Every structure is written in C-alpha cells, then in structure tokens.
Amino acid sequence: MPAMPEASVKSAPQKAMEKLGLVRDIDLALHLPLRYEDETRITPIAALRENEPAQVEGVVVDCQIEMRGRRQLLVRLKDESGSLLLRFLHFYPSQQKQMAAGGRLRVRGEARIGFFGREMVHPVVKVVDEDTPLAQSLTPVYPASAQLPQAYLRKAVASGLARADLREILPVGVVQSVGMGGLPSLKDALNYLHHPPPSASQEALHEHHHPAWHRLKFEELLAQQLSQLQAQRERALLVAPALRARPGGLHEKLLAALPFQLTGAQQRVAEEIAQDLARPQPMHRLLQGDVGSGKTIVAALAAAVAIDAGWQCALMAPTEILAEQHFRKLVGWLEPLGLKVAWITGSVKGKARQKMLDAAASGEAQLVIGTHAVIEDKVRFAKLGLAIIDEQHRFGVAQRLALRNKLKAMDLEPHLLMMSATPIPRTLAMTYFADLDVSTIDELPPGRSPIVTKVFTESKRHDVVDKIRGAVADGAQVYWVCPLVEESEVVDLRNATETHAELSAALPGASVGLLHGRMSSTDKAAVMAQFSGGQMSVLVATTVIEVGVDVPNASLMVIEHAERFGLAQLHQLRGRVGRGAKASACVLIYSPPLSDTGKARLKAMAETTDGFEIARRDLDIRGPGEFMGSRQSGAELLRFADLQEDAPLLVAARALAPRLLDEHPEAARRQVARWLGTKAEYLKA
C-alpha cells in the first residue's frame, strides 16, 4: 500500500501566530509594539544609573562559574570608563562559550549598583565586533506568547509590513473635510510606529498620543462605523411585516387594564417602538434603562401591537429565573385579555414540551417566552413578527441571528427589540451600536424608595447580622448574596450553605431559604415562590437572582465578598431592593486588602445609585472591550481607539462614513476589508 503524503506540519511559532490572528500581511502590519527598547546608543559603564535600562559595550575580561549558594555564571565586562559584572542564574554551556574572555559583547539590561560595584542580572547579550553598527531606530517589543520568540515575531512583522498593501484608500479631500488632513498617511504612520527614530518621544508612543497613532485610530473607527452603517443599510432593504396597533385593540386594552400609569419616559419609548413596528423594514432597536425603570411593560406593549396585528412574539431571556419572572408578569397582564402564552425552557420536557412546541408551530401560542431553548431548530413559529431579547449582552451573535432566521421561509425578517438593564455610555452606544436605534427610559416609576448603600469590612459581619435581625423583626425581607466563582461551583455551594446555616442559627423563628445554581428548576421556583409570597424572611442566594427578581417587600440586600463582583453586577443586585415604599439599604461586605479596582467599584456604589453614572465609571475602570464583552463575539472590535480619549476621532469617523459609502463605495469596501476582515459579520447581529 503506498505511503500517504505527509501533511505540512506547522511550527509552534506559526501556530502561535495564527492564534494571535496574525494571518494576513495586513494583520502583521497592524500588530503594533507594546513598548520599545533603545539599541541606538551605547552608555559608558561608569554612566549607568540604577534600575534604568541601558545598553553597554565592552570586552570580556573574565568568565567563570562560581558556587554562591547556587551555581552562577559570572562575566566581567570592561570598557574605557569602568567594569560591569553580568550575572546569570540560569545558563547553558553554549552561553559560557559565547562569552569567553577576549570577546566583545553588547549587552542591554537594568543596572544594579551594590557592594561589589555595577552589575546586570540576565541582560540581553549580543556578540559584536568593533564595526557592528548600532540600530537606527528604537527596537519594538511586540505582544507575543511563550511559543513566539520576539526575534521570530520581529522578522515576521517586518516582512508583513514590507509586503502589505498600504496604499491610501481614503480620498485626500474627504479626509481633509473632517479635519484629519494633517495626519500622516497610513503607510508612514505604521512605519513610524514599528521603527520610531531615536529622537521619538517614548511618552507620546506609549500613551498613543503621537499623530501616527491618531491616524491608526481614526482609520480603525472609520472602518467600524462604515461596517455598521453598511449593516444598517442592508437591513433597510429587508422586508418585515408592518405591525400596526388597532384603535381599541389589544394595545389599548392592556394600557387600560394596568394598575399603574406609565411614566413619561415609558410612553415616549413605547411610541418609538410602535412607529418602528408599523414600518415594513425590520426594527433593530435597543431599549435601555436603569434597574427598575419598567422595561418589561414596554416590551409587553410592543408584544401587544405585534399580536394585535395577527403575528406572534417571542421573548428570550438568559436564565430560567428571569424568563419565569417575565412569564408571570406577562401572563398576568395578557392572559386576562384572551392571549395564549407558551413557555419553552430546557427544563420543560416530554408531553408538556411537545404541547408548547405544537402551540408555537400552529400559531395558537401568540407569545412564546423562554431561554435560549426558544432558538432551537425544533422550535417553529407560524408567524413570528417580533423577537424580544432581554439582557441582550448575554447572548452571542449566533444566538441572536438564529432568532431572526425563524421567518426565513416567508422571505421576511422579524422585528428585533433588544433590552439591557446595563445603561450604555453615549460613546459606546455611538460605536458598538452605531447600527441600532436606541431608546432610553431615563426616569424611574414614582413611589420607589431610595437605596442607601453602606460598605463594611468582613470583621463587621456580626453587625450586619444584627441589622438583619432588626429588619426581619420589622417584617422586612432580606437577600444575602454569596459570590459565584466560576472555577469552583463546589466552593460556592459550600459558602452559600454555610451562610444559610449561620443565618438560620442567628435568626431563630425566621424562615431562611437557600437558592443556588445546582438546584433543579422546580426547587428554584418553589423557593422563589415562597420568598415572593412573603412566607420566607431571608433568601441566601448565589447570583442567580441578579436580574428579573421583583419582590417589593424586600428592602435589605447584603452582598458578601463584594470585591469579587463587577460594578454592573453589583448595581443589578442592588436593584433587587428599593422596589416598594419601604426605605431600602444595600450592604457591601468586603475582605481586605482591596485592589485599586475593588476600591473604585465600592466607592462608586457608595456614591451613586444612578445606573448611567455607574456605567460611566465602569467604563473608566474596565475599558470598552471588557465592558461590552467584545460584543459577545470573541472578536474585539476596537484594538487601538479609546472611546473616551478619542471621542473627537469618533465624531470625525461618524461624519465621514455616510459620505464615503455614498460617494466612494469601493474605497469604503476596501477600508472595511483591510481593518475588519471577517469580523465585519459580527456587527450585523
């Protein structure tokens, strides 16, 4: 039998480069240095300063291995001004041979000045002769990995930079029209950043303030804005069912049946959504509002419009608890008006599940509520007109696209309403959601009690338990949240179980419940029903109660190990109280020492309850990529631009994008391809 031809085997550095996304020449050209080393000058040994990086050159006068507690290679280097000891704690025989007495070396490192004079530990060493030229530019140090040596990466980047097509795509006049005419060309900017001259300001390079950096950031923002504008225009060519509310129909009946008045903000955003639904193009709207601002009723009104027009609505939530909260509320509002609501989650099995699937497929169920189970292939809709995604940042792009594809057989797209209780700062909305229409509920319903937030160290835990005892005696209900550490569910369960036992002992006569992720859906529902119904005084829970839980009588929230939570998560948890007329409090317990990030988070929580201010501070602390979860695609959409510092560049890119698409469509296409490649697809969901 003939031998099979051997497949070409990639080296470890090649695999590491692919993992970093360094596939195309342009990828290599855009792989920019983290920092630079100065190999353009030689410092006399006598002029070395302690702990400052420098490069020296001299002749080896001594090289030997000594035992000084451990085996060490000690090399004595001399120039005209003095001598320097090079100390190597880890070394190979080849290095000892390389640094034999009489040879000339150029070494770079940080000097230490001690009892035995000047020394460098593990410097970078290069064998030279008297004619070896110095570097003509600063030496780049690139983001790399253990399998990717700097020397290999420098050679690959230099090669990619030389081959990449860096011809100007943007027409000069168009760039000048938005005030960017004074910036260098992309080619000049990249050559400068990869090989800056010795005179370059290290600070301007490191802080990304140099004009070369501005050019890159502007181009990146422009590509991103172009991609989203293209996606928006492509969607405008798609056809969606035009859904209009009938006079005296379901929409008006629901409003009349509500036991409360809508706020002005709720009325405004409900009208914006209704206008979108009435158009024959798919709505693509983000509904955002602070915790407790009343997004669910706005979603219910949108569902009523769709159902009134003869179409179905699907509502998808990230967890069963949140989906069930929506289910209860919407059933309470809509079933009395004659609507049929189906419930589809992973825990609904057998005949009950088939019954729900049949109801969705036949159109009998006008509203389908559930978790990601709603987007499974087996779930079919007769006429899906509106898809609502709650806490949309928790769903990946593929999941959102799957929900939109449920109408493909009819050559139609459903309208899409996404909801988020994490307010998005304006610069982020302009960038990550440039293709979305954004509706903001910026006022809370009347009658909400203000929440006072207090921060306690772990040593004051007994004081917190005393506070709970008093609250329970007054008839209040209390949440105690234990952190969820993803690496160890067992530890989480133990923490929650131990806290439950501690509080049960400290509060004799009070009903203390326990809720955690390992419980079955039935058990979770039973515990939540007891707490919601007021039969349970204290609920010890992991973060499964983060969103959607609405118990107006709960007025005290205790969050243990608050330093482990993100700022948005802390704000979400705090929003579980303050939903009734009782004065409410949130207690944050932390274990010292606190990191700077931990301090900033707890300080923000203590100082403000405004979700938009919380979001702004969260953006300051985490940066945009982490704040948005890189838009849940695994692909970071902005590598270079900083949305706060570079707001003027964003404004210029936003102004230029429509002109470029209209007047220079081929240039726009090439710009997106150069910067985003296949990542442009992520922006379309």
d(CA 394, CA 413): 22
* Number of other residues whose CB lies within 10 A of the CB of residue 51: 8
CB neighbour list of residue 586: distance below 8 Å, 6 or more residues apart: 451, 452, 453, 454, 556, 557, 558, 559, 573, 574, 577, 605
CA dist., res. 624 & res. 541, Å (int) = 30
Q: What tokens does 629 get?
A: 């979860």
Q: From 343, 353, 345, select the one nearest 373 (Cα to Cα).
A: 345
pLDDT averaged per 10 residues in sequence order, the chain, 685 residues: 53 87 91 91 94 94 89 94 94 90 95 88 92 92 87 94 92 79 90 94 88 93 88 84 91 90 94 96 88 87 94 86 77 88 84 91 92 81 90 56 67 86 69 74 77 94 93 93 60 75 92 87 85 93 65 91 87 84 90 90 92 82 58 54 81 90 93 77 50
Q: Calculate the alpha carbon distances from 221 to 118, 129, 647 in Å.
A: 48, 47, 10
The predicted pLDDT at position 485 comes to 47
User: CA-CA distance, 569 to 483, in Å (whole number)?
Assistant: 11
Rg of the chain over all Cα atoms, to the nearest angstrom: 31
CA distances to 226, 236, 251, 595, 680 from 284, rounded to whole Å, are 17, 10, 21, 40, 17
DSSP bridge partners of 140: 36
Please give the pLDDT value at position 101.
Answer: 94
Closest by alpha carbon to 517, among 316, 317, 370, 320?
320
Structure tokens at 157: 């980047």
Going by C-alpha positions, the residue among 143, 521, 96, 548 that lies closest to residue 343 is: 521
The Cα–Cα gap between 608 and 363 comes to 46
> Largest alpha-carbon pair distance within the chain?
99
Ordered by where they begin, the domains of the chain are 23-36+142-209 (no CATH), 41-134 (2.40.50.140), 250-441 (3.40.50.300), 451-608 (3.40.50.300)
Helix and strand numbers (H, E) in the chain are: 24, 21
DSSP string covering 223-254: HHHHHHHHHHHHHHTS------PPTTSHHHHH
CA neighbor of 170 nearest in space, from 158, 183, 161, 155: 183
